[in-house]
Structure 1
């Protein structure tokens, strides 16, 4: 029975010939790298011409057993994170998190952006972890894998749960997002920012709305992200613009205009990351280039490999974020000059950890005297 159900699931997941893929980052759904077999759908001739066959978004629920995920990576500035969702409907074709969907027996291609997993109840799990006697406070990063303010957050409100708990504990928080839903939570985020407990990174890949629509089809338009920066800044939130990813031969010329626009919108800091193409992402990216930028495809990949030691990607510590070689060094030098020109900081002040305290619960014995 399991085998039959599994095969039916795989066939349902396969992209049918002629099936419409609208506002998605990729147009295929290749089997994940851990799967023992691949399934290809074939038309049986019974399709109705007028039948609507769009690839729909599906959200499943996972009951989280843990909230905090710890890491010891030497080239990232945080040691713990929370993932309210698995997969991301923004559908950014270049997303380095796509390969993580293979661990769920799902495809890093269309499944990553259409078959999402929400983790409601994670706030209660997080509260239990923060109350453990051995817990040592440190900035928790959210949005480092998939976006916590992607469209399904409007319905599932998992990120809202997490922020409510962190705010109650006066716990430092760093958020990375492209989503406008972050504005909904300003009632919680603004007081945290006033206490020195919050900073937000807004990712801006390009100022070209058409290119953004093609590369990151369900993320907010570039102008709207700049408006998010303005609104957060007006509420007292410290914002860092993230020029990420820098796509060699396609968006690298926009670094200075992005930094200038973000500074004008109120951003206080800035950072950049080179395009990363781990595992399945490399093939998806090459397919996207051939479909959407055929005249630039060869140039882009040549520059990518120039910055990655002749390969599509190099995951070595210290190189994976910035690349290496002359081109990568030039990007770095341009960034340093631009942030100085526009008054943006590369390093923002550390968030406060001294305010952390577990709030009293109903029934707690507050004091004897």
Structure 2
């Protein structure tokens, strides 16, 4: 074979191979398109968009999902009340009025207190322990088994860490000082506080300041320094208490219509789960940075930073676990999930006391002593 003949044969074979590649690509394209459909969902948030960190968790998730799927799976985020009132979010998702919501499970304890256990309950898990239970301790599987009765799937998608115990017009020196105090506090925590003499009020974030200003309420808790400063509570109530024994490690969930979720291709389920995890980690990190600056700012404005009295904490602890026992007798779903949650909590506390607590205690004491 001459050099020219070899070159012609090589070019011919190359052209045929190229044509085969193009043909293969054109044949496979419809199959790829079928496996990655274009999907557009709407999300209702439980929060107003001026609370950028907690509302922003849904935006972070939607942006990540859009990029992961190259624009094929898009979610439009609406603030609380724009499509449906926040208190109706679960009902709206179940009815497929919207495909999903981003909100706190404990807002729906009026339906069943078990809604709270997936988010946070008094004297529960801290942020890391909460993630451990939900992701790898069987927690979210148990929570989703409960949620299936409501036609909903829950995926963790936001964390605040331990929250603050709230703003009080008057100093609280003992449990007796709580009697008759009208306080904005939600969910199971409101029931516990009522047993300590508080008159609980469940108000959305945007309604708290006007209620404090008018004197409709005497005290309020929301999240922590960053959001609380933005909402201006320090202008009315000067006593800022810690910690929120009722929110040691809040998880905000994405609640998704179960039929819509089940209909997603597996690749989209993985993409959605990954985007939700990104929102979860990002929100906690943002709050840790923003709260550090905000607490210094609030102290500089003259607020009185106070620990909740020990007798308040002790009375609340006792009331909480008495309440959990009552829930176990009245609510089958609670009775099914709570024992596993309690076992996980107790064993997790044993481990965290060994390394985390001893490390933190030494470091904080050393820093305070200016070592």
- Provide TM-score, normalisation by structure 1: 0.32
Answer 1 or 2: higher relative contact order, Cα 8 Å, separation at least 6: 2
- Provide TM-score, normalisation by structure 2: 0.32
Higher share in helix: 2
